Structure 1
Amino acid sequence: MTRVSGMTERRIAATLAAALALFVGCTPSASAKYDAAEKAVRAALSDDQDVEFSDLYESTPDLHRTSQTPNDKRTFICGYATYKKQDGKPVRVRFIYAAHSDDPSLADYGPLNLEKPELNYGIRDENSGGRYATAFEFSGWNRVCADAQHPKTFSGVAPKGDG
């Protein structure tokens, strides 16, 4: 068996420590964004709920000309949360969490936008062929979370007499 000298052991230890520092320095920020999003959703739904998360992804849409904020790039965590209502029926909702934003307009609303499935009234989206989107889709999901892998959704119900 080959014995490693003390000097070599220190170099190996120093290299491993540097690699670990680089690895740890990069991953917590990404992980912290997802953890913060999940924590905000759990708090909004109630702490006693058993919430499962799925399809979480990061979105950095270019919101140029939609805000007076000088920083047009913002980071959002988009995804789905499933929980059970008091009657035991599962509910799946979408959420948008502003993980990083310099937009002062968010100060009035907070970083979390959580879908309310019962609010399914449709808003006609003329830019998308006149399809109906819920307020959540129209004002947030389709603007912030839609990308090449996640197409826009239109689950709004048309108003009576318009449909």
Structure 2
Amino acid sequence: MLRRTAVVGALMLSSSALACDLTGLEHPLVFSPGESALPTSEILKLAEWDSQLKDDFRNGGKYRVRLQEGTEPAPDPELAVLRLRSLQAVLDAVGIEGDKVESSEADTHLRAAEREGVTPKLPTAAYVVFQPDCQNPCCTGSTPAAPFAPKR
């Protein structure tokens, strides 16, 4: 009897925990070699991921955009700039824009390329990182999240 009670209790705890499992908080976007735009499949995955985050974290949160880049300046600076613009357009299209983005390496690099004439490195992938205002998707109210430092 004690064993059965323990099993039932464990199942109850795990099912309530499963209802509040975190969705992945970092989403990669990978460019195809030589292409300036993200593949449609990548855009759809991002939209699904973001939609799930909005369901799981109704209190909202902030996004960060990190880039994975080649080690040398882009052999084709125009391709690098087109990829940065493509990334911005994709984020806007799925609703990750403006005040929702805490920092974006894509924006920073594009501004540097356009205003200062700096040749950007070629982005090969981007990572959209979500920091929820409330770490627990089951929380109510406005419980603040602990700050995090994304890996570089």
Smaller-chain TM-score bracket: 0.3 to 0.5
Superposition TM-score, scaled by structure 1 size: 0.31
Q: Which has the higher contact order (CA 8 A, sep 6+)?
A: 2
Q: Which has the larger radius of gyration?
A: 1
Superposition TM-score, scaled by structure 2 size: 0.33
The structure with the greater share of residues assigned to helix is: 2
